[in-house]
Amino acid sequence: MNIETLLQLKDIKVHYGGVKALDGVDIAIDEGEVVALMGPNGAGKSTILKVIFGLTKKSHGEIFWHQKPLNPIPYEIVQLGIAFVPQGRRVFSHLTVEENLEIGGYIIQNKKEVARRKEEILELFPALKAKKKIRSGHLSGGQQQMLAIGRGLMTDPKILLLDEPSLGLAPKIVKEVFAQIKEINLRHKTAIVIVEHNLKSLLQIVDRAYVLDKGKVVATGTGHEIIKSDILEKVFLGKM
């Protein structure tokens, strides 16, 4: 079976003033795979997600979507099939769970299709289904994170970008969130790109990992290959 490369970043550079946030990054995301972006603070992980989604302008390099050049603009990116869930469990706290999900499907014209997708997501997250009429500000931190992910799934994206989905969550809830992420990947064949500090949980579910340091990709491999190597120890202890 031929697996298609959905998205490619080639020689991407991003400069903030004199600082090189990204310095010649090459990354590929294939259909249906879970990709991790790992590395210490300031390595450029979140910047990659923002470049893909059009929230940060690249200084140099090219982005390809299905082998065609892409100039990312956020609303157009959503229509292409890429969804972004930023860090910080950003939900509309005064709106109910259902209303948050409906906002996630704003580009879908067909109301029946919005309702169908909403029900599908509530089936995926039983804890949310039980509280679908509750204002999201009253949910636990883990439930708010699941809602943010569920809202991102409303457009049925080909690629889901997740920035620190476990941030501030208790270990038990982290395990639950990662199990749901893998379930989304398997059930919908959604490619998922995750920026995450919780490396132990993350490496168990990824197909491919990129390790970054100072804006460069310094290693790539399967989760198992990264675990066996000493690359993470080197970049986190500043020994590169």
- Examine the pLDDT at 16 and tell me if it is beyond 90: no
81-85, 190-194, 236-240: range with lowest mean pLDDT: 236-240
Q: What is the pLDDT of residue 214?
A: 92
Specify the amino acid at residue 132: K
Whether the per-residue pLDDT at 1 is higher than 70: the answer is no
Q: How many domains does the chain have?
A: 1
Q: How confident is the model over 207-233, as a mean pLDDT?
A: 91
Mean pLDDT over 137-157 rounds to 91
Cβ–Cβ < 8 Å for 198, 223: no
Query: What is residue 147's predicted lDDT score, i.e. its pLDDT?
Result: 94
* pLDDT for the residue 205: 87
Q: What is the pLDDT of residue 240?
A: 66
The CATH number of whichever domain residue 32 belongs to comes to 3.40.50.300
Mean pLDDT value across residues 186-191: 89
- Please give the full DSSP string across the chain, using - where no structure is assigned: -PPPEEEEEEEEEEEETTEEEEEEEEEEEETT-EEEEE-STTSSHHHHHHHHHTSS--SEEEEEETTEE----HHHHHHHTEEEE-SS----TTSBHHHHHHHHTTT---HHHHHHHHHHHHHH-HHHHTTTTSBGGGS-HHHHHHHHHHHHHTT--SEEEEE-TTTT--HHHHHHHHHHHHHHHHHH--EEEEE-S-HHHHHTT-SEEEEEETTEEEEEE-HHHHHHSSHHHHHHTT--
Inter-residue contact 215 to 22 (CB < 8 Å)? yes
Mean per-residue pLDDT, 64-86: 91
Q: If we measure between CA atoms, which residue out of 16, 37, 10 comes closest to residue 213? A: 37
Instruction: Name the band, by pLDDT with cuts 50, 70 and 90, for residue 118.
Output: very high
The backbone torsions φ and ψ at residue 25, rounded to the nearest 5 degrees and listed phi first, read -85, 130
What pLDDT is attached to residue 168?
Answer: 80
Task: Please give the pLDDT value at position 38.
Answer: 92
Provide the pLDDT for residue 49.
96
Confidence label for 25 from pLDDT (cuts 50, 70 and 90):
very high
pLDDT of residue 18: 81
pLDDT tens, residue by residue, 161-183: 999 988 888 888 888 888 888 88
- For Cα atoms 113, 86, 121, give the angle at the middle one, nearest 5 degrees: 30
What the block records as the tokens of 87 is: 């860090």
Q: Which of 164, 160, 228 is nearest to 197 (CA)?
A: 164
Q: Which domain holds residue 66?
A: 5-236
Is it the case that residue 88 has pLDDT exceeding 90? no
Which of 127, 136, 47 lies closest to 86 in space, CA to CA?
47
Q: Is 70 exceeded by the pLDDT of residue 79?
A: yes
* Average of per-residue pLDDT across 46-60: 94
User: How confident is the model at residue 203, as a pLDDT?
Assistant: 83
Q: How confident is the model at residue 83 (pLDDT cuts 50, 70, 90)?
A: very high
The backbone torsions φ and ψ at residue 206, rounded to the nearest 5 degrees and listed phi first, read -90, 150
CB contact set of 80 (below 8 Å; sequence gap of 6+): 65, 70, 158
Alpha-carbon span 146 to 225, nearest angstrom: 29
